[in-house]
């Protein structure tokens, strides 16, 4: 992990969580409040139904709240969709775009992801742009080609270290319990850094997170990998007791 870049430990709750889940955030906030000056940023991205309530619970604590996706437009006839401006209004400061589940289940192309990242910036949110290869792509030795394509074509003009975070999440590792080796992660993160160098003036300050079956038992090893600036955590972020040990590796 680079000393230049402040780590970000982000939890993506996906389609999980009812109002009662606020108790988990309260517990997380209580953990964070024991550290007067945490050395990392802490983020929870709950379902949109919980955003405003969770933002109120987080208050002025070290825990920030984010959205899981946004529409490219500010408003309009888009039933069921949510704009970046709406997320911001509900208390979000970040928005995940291009998560592999969105790319696969909703056919979100690089162009769509780019438009949503632009929308996040327009709405005053930090975009967490996700990239990652499938198992078939990895087995075909196409990992770095896929990553290059996604980074080059998913980042909008105007992307900076202040408004954009990259999250590398090998699709085959999400929710499977499988993780690449630290060496595998190091190779991909170094490649992402190289691609960013060609695209952005402040690329050395852009945070690149690792995501894919991150849990308390492997977080310290993964967070120690060069060019890994934090984590995008799925299932292990739903319970404060599981998520805090991951945060604690960077606190």
Helix (H/G/I), strand (E/B), else coil: 142? coil
**Distance in angstroms (rounded) separating the CA atoms of residues 227 and 43:** 20
Q: Which residues, in sequence order, are bridge partners of residue 201? A: none
From residue 99, give the alpha-carbon distance in Å to each of 23, 114, 183, 213.
26, 12, 23, 14
Known catalytic membership, residue 33: no
d(CA 41, CA 61): 11
Two tokens, residue 36 = 């007067």
Contacts of 175 (CB under 8 A, 6+ apart): 213, 234, 235
Catalytic residue among 169, 189, 191, 195: 169
Give the containing element (helix H, strand E) for 66.
strand 63-67
Could you confirm whether 31 is annotated as catalytic?
no
Catalytic residue among 99, 121, 189, 191, which? 99
CA distance 99 to 166: 11
Give the integer Cα–Cα distance in Å for 136 and 52. 39
- Report, as residue numbers or ranges, the catalytic residues: 99, 169
């Amino acid at each position: 992990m680079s000393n230049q870049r402040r780590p970000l430990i982000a939890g993506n709750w996906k389609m999980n969580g009812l109002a009662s889940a606020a108790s988990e955030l309260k517990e997380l906030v209580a953990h964070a409040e024991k550290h007067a000056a945490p050395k990392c940023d802490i983020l929870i991205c709950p379902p949109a139904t919980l955003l405003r309530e969770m933002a109120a619970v987080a208050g002025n604590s070290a825990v920030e709240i984010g959205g899981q996706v946004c529409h490219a437009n500010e408003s309009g006839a888009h039933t069921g969709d949510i704009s970046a401006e709406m997320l911001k209004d509900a208390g979000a400061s970040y928005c995940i775009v291009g998560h592999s589940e969105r790319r696969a289940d909703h056919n979100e192309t690089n162009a769509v992801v780019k438009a949503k990242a632009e929308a996040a910036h327009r709405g005053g949110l930090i975009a967490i742009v996700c990239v990652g290869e499938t198992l078939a792509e990895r087995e075909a030795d196409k990992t770095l080609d896929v990553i290059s394509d996604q980074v080059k074509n998913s980042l909008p003009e105007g992307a900076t270290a202040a408004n954009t975070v990259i999250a590398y999440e090998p699709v085959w590792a999400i929710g499977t319990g499988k993780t690449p080796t630290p060496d595998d992660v190091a190779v991909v993160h170094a490649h992402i850094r190289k691609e960013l160098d060609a695209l952005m003036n402040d690329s050395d300050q852009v945070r690149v997170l690792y995501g894919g079956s991150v849990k308390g038992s492997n977080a310290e090893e993964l967070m120690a990998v060069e060019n890994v600036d934090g984590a995008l955590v799925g299932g292990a972020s739903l319970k404060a007791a599981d998520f805090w040990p991951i945060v604690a590796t960077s606190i």
